[in-house]
A and B are shown apart, each in its own frame.
Chain A
Amino acid sequence: MEKWYLMTIVVLIGLTVRWTVSLNSYSGAGKPPMFGDYEAQRHWQEITFNLPVKQWYFNSSDNNLQYWGLDYPPLTAYHSLLCAYVAKFINPDWIALHTSRGFESQAHKLFMRTTVLIADLLIYIPAVVLYCCCLKDISTKKKIANALCILLYPGLILIDYGHFQNIYNSVSLGFALWGVLGVSCDWDLLGSLAFCLAINYKQMELYHSLPFFCFLLGKCFKKGLKGKGFVLLVKLACTVVASFVLCWLPFFTEREQTLQVLRRLFPVDRGLFEDKVANIWCSFNVFLKIRDILPRHIQLIMSFCFTFLSLLPACIKLILQPSSKGFKFTLVIEIIFCNIIFFLYHFRPVCLVLSEIPFMSTWFLLVSTFSLLPLLLKDELLMPSVVTTMAFFIACVTSFSIFEKTSEEELQLKSFSISVRKYLPCFTFLSRMIQYLFLISVITMVLLTLTTVTLDPPQKLPDLFSVLVCFVSCLNFLFFLVYFNIIIMWDSKSGRNQKKIT
């Protein structure tokens, strides 16, 4: 069959699933006075439309920052403005200053969902399609299957279309994906431009910046710092600076503006325990009340240090030996680690390696969806989450036959196990072990889901289930962290060994 027919069908399936999930309720529906993130997005449209640019990030009588103040970079604000113009065209009541607070109606819900779908369609989905088409060394059928699995990833669908928290994730992630695509295919300027746009849309993308930086730096070094490499470096620097200036132009006029925006973007006094989510501090907290021992800014500094240190080996390797594959894996590690330390919904980079290690990627993505469970249950999204997870799982299983790909070589652990066998000759059971771990993990997740849904937590420990989910997810993530680090490290070793031989 022609490739584009199949790809169209895959995209249509992705869109259908997204829209049907969006028919469900959203966060904060019918819950005054603060409602939820849906109201936040509506409020931002109201603010950006009615107030001049200078007042967007400032507290004023018209703009109460306590009530969902704007805390994303300027590109989000521009996007909200665009949506507000459309809203004004359809029904001005939706964005009337002050009076539209807590506005909820069927038509408005339709409008908001449509904006998400359109943003997805324009930015994220083309990135996915192009990314899958540019994958090397795999058949057309596998490329299309890859696209299907990525588009069916439940985490993004449920957050953007169901829960409606931090929506338009697809926009920032789409830009980031364009960035990855550009950089992997040697369109460096385009890639870095796209990535800057991503950062300017949601500051969370800064987490991805380290691998990007190291990879591009590595490329420059490879080209030779005295010649082409230096030129490339300068071009990249200009692109980055230019894109930032363009986005922040209205806010560069005064120093106070810039500072205020930065203060809104990085509220260092908010702490790390917002919502019990899959991060290591929550898990530690079970055993050791860290929250009470360490003051907040120390926690923050420690987190940053941990992140930086853990990424150091992978990043150094990336600088010395820039490769597309290494870049992808570093991104993955980075994201897993950041998710453990901080709180993120960004598991998308793992989709990037879906085609190379289908088994582990599928497992990881399942765990990542599972870790969102407490949040989804709060919004009555049990049915869509179960259905989309199963759909994703079936798609991965049939597309990649993942259960047949659990041998050592397939898991890219061959060099690792060879090294270990030098010390422990009986270490032949690695793939078996991993299969069993997978089984245990899945069974635990299913059981925990069932218990959370059917039983009530005991009175003394009302958050028991959330914390358990948190804990289990964290364990899984640590395992993946170790695994992906092993891949990178041993890949480099075998690479170096081969170079020595030849």
Chain B
Amino acid sequence: MAALTIAAGTGNWFSALALGVTLLKCLLIPTYHSTDFEVHRNWLAITHSLPISQWYYEATSEWTLDYPPFFAWFEYILSHVAKYFDQEMLNVRNLNYSSSRTLLFQRFSVIFMDVLFVYAVHECCKCIDGKKVGKELTEKPKFILSVLLLWNFGLLIVDHIHFQYNGFLFGLMLLSIARLFQKRHMEGAFLFAVLLHFKHIYLYVAPAYGVYLLRSYCFTANKPDGSIRWNSFSFVRVISLGLVVFLVSALSLGPFLALNQLPQVFSRLFPFKRGLCHAYWAPNFWALYNGLDKVLSVIGLKLKFLDPNNIPKASMTSGLVQQFQHTVLPSVTPLATLICTLIAILPSIFCLWFKPQGPRGFLRCLTLCALSSFMFGWHVHEKAILLAILPMSLLSVQKAGDASIFLILTTTGHYSLFPLLFTAPELPIKILLMLLFTIYSISSLKTLFRQSFTVATQAGVQWH
């Protein structure tokens, strides 16, 4: 009976949470899936049926391979499992093929890969010290953080309904953050480098990593007042970091360098021709900019300031992915967005360099980098808000101030993901899950910080 107790995980709340959310994911299998489903099926087919030299050139389907090589290798490995489910999905010509076995395989692959995410959450929970807060399990920071991460509404609907593989990628990111907290910097750097070569969207937060590692790892000691001590610079560390990044990149891009395909790979990875805004607008600064432009153009037409013949035909709101010009306000180029983003992240980078506050400061900078890139980036997907929400969860269980910002961020961020699921059967699901997550996050964080005000003079608990 004891063995069964252990096996059933009695008293082990983390396993129960992880299992519970996995079961929910299984129930979501028959829900609507977006074109991303076909995207990944196509990539399975490409990597399975074609030689490497063709991977970034193949264009039978409109969903060409536009993730870095590690992801392509990941799809390749998956395809070898896929052939036992349904051989037909691996045919490049089978566009929009979605038999029930294909669906089952793809959904299960996402659910399975989330194991990495669960492990990462487990590691993050270890980094939190919640001894000062109440004894009730559901009020411990570890428990709250686990629920906020494992049952995150955005991740659930993007990964398990809309269909993507964000789970294990965020797992890699959270794991690298956890390693940095545990002072295992080399591992953290390695994990992040690997992550970059899985999905290059994480470049959004690369400045935070770079500056933090340089400042807090390569400079081994600080002066008493916290400022930089130049003679504590460790060449060994810099070189080893550089080596790690170089080796990972070599492993990833090496084969394509040898085949002289790098320009093609980069053009696939960074398709600037896709336009300022994604087909569904990400709620960032440029959405406001476009909206203003539209309003001004309408006013201008009404007041006869503008000549109707000069208005370009392509409309921003048509839901298509293309480039076009603004009518009233100046057009925005990719360089302009880059400059805006850099200006936005400058304050946090400065803080990270001049006043390092250890891993917590790094995490704050990371969240700010993600948010800034989301606000000012070129062709941002609305799913990118998750890049800010998930790391912020870690901060939210530590300080009351962070918690309130987190609540605003997460509620609006999740709500902004609603247009991703527009079918009628999924409407109750997204409303119910959103309510579930929002009510839980608000009530649990409120309870957590009400308690700690009575316990400690200074709100919040310390990281290791």
Residues of A within 8 A of B (CB): 1-2, 5-6, 8-9, 12-13, 15-17, 19-21, 23-24, 106-107, 110, 117, 141, 383-384, 387-388, 390-391, 394-395, 397-398, 401, 403-404, 406, 435, 439
With both chains docked as a complex, state the minimum distance between the C-beta of B420 and any C-beta of chain A, in angstroms. Answer: 17
Q: List 21 A-B contacts (CB under 8 A).
A: A1-B136, A5-B440, A9-B439, A12-B432, A12-B439, A16-B24, A16-B433, A17-B24, A17-B27, A23-B31, A24-B30, A141-B138, A387-B26, A387-B27, A390-B23, A394-B8, A394-B9, A394-B16, A394-B23, A397-B9, A401-B11
Chain A residues touching B, majority SS:
helix
A6 to B139, CA, bound (A): 12
Beta-carbon contact of B27 and A110 below 8 Å: no
Chain B residues touching A, majority SS:
helix
A12-B435, A23-B425, A394-B23 known, 15 other contacts, Cβ within 8 Å: A1-B138, A1-B443, A6-B443, A17-B24, A24-B30, A106-B424, A107-B424, A110-B425, A141-B138, A387-B23, A397-B10, A398-B16, A401-B11, A403-B1, A404-B5
| Interface check B35, CB cutoff 8 A | no
Residues of B within 8 A of A (CB): 1, 4-5, 8-11, 13, 16, 19-20, 23-24, 26-31, 136, 138-139, 424-425, 428-429, 432-433, 435-436, 439-440, 443-444, 447
A397: chain B residues within 8 A (beta carbon):
8-10, 16
Beta-carbon contact of A110 and B424 below 8 Å: yes
B28: chain A residues within 8 A (beta carbon):
20
- Contact A5-B23, Cβ < 8 Å, known A16-B433, A398-B13, A403-B4: no
Beta-carbon contact of B27 and A21 below 8 Å: yes
A29 to B436, CA, bound (A): 32
Beta-carbon contact of B9 and A398 below 8 Å: yes
Total residue contacts A-B, CB cutoff 8 A: 92
Per a CB cutoff under 8 Å, which of B10, B136, B429, B447 touches A403?
Answer: B10
A93 to B60, CA, bound (A): 43
Beta-carbon contact of B443 and A435 below 8 Å: no
Most buried by A among B10, B11, B433: B10
Per a CB cutoff under 8 Å, which of B16, B19, B27 touches A20?
Answer: B27
- Contact A12-B436, Cβ < 8 Å, known A1-B443, A21-B27: yes
- In this complex, what residue of B is CB-closest to A432? B1
- In this complex, what residue of A is CB-closest to B436? A12
Beta-carbon contact of A19 and B429 below 8 Å: yes
A117 to B431, CA, bound (A): 14
With both chains docked as a complex, state the minimum distance between the C-beta of B428 and any C-beta of chain A, in angstroms. Answer: 5
B138: chain A residues within 8 A (beta carbon):
1, 6, 141
B444: chain A residues within 8 A (beta carbon):
1
B428: chain A residues within 8 A (beta carbon):
15, 19, 117
Most buried by A among B13, B425, B439: B425
A20: chain B residues within 8 A (beta carbon):
24, 27-28, 31, 429
With both chains docked as a complex, state the minimum distance between the C-beta of A157 and any C-beta of chain B, in angstroms. Answer: 10
With both chains docked as a complex, state the minimum distance between the C-beta of B292 and any C-beta of chain A, in angstroms. Answer: 38
Per a CB cutoff under 8 Å, which of A16, A395, A401, A435 touches B436?
Answer: A16
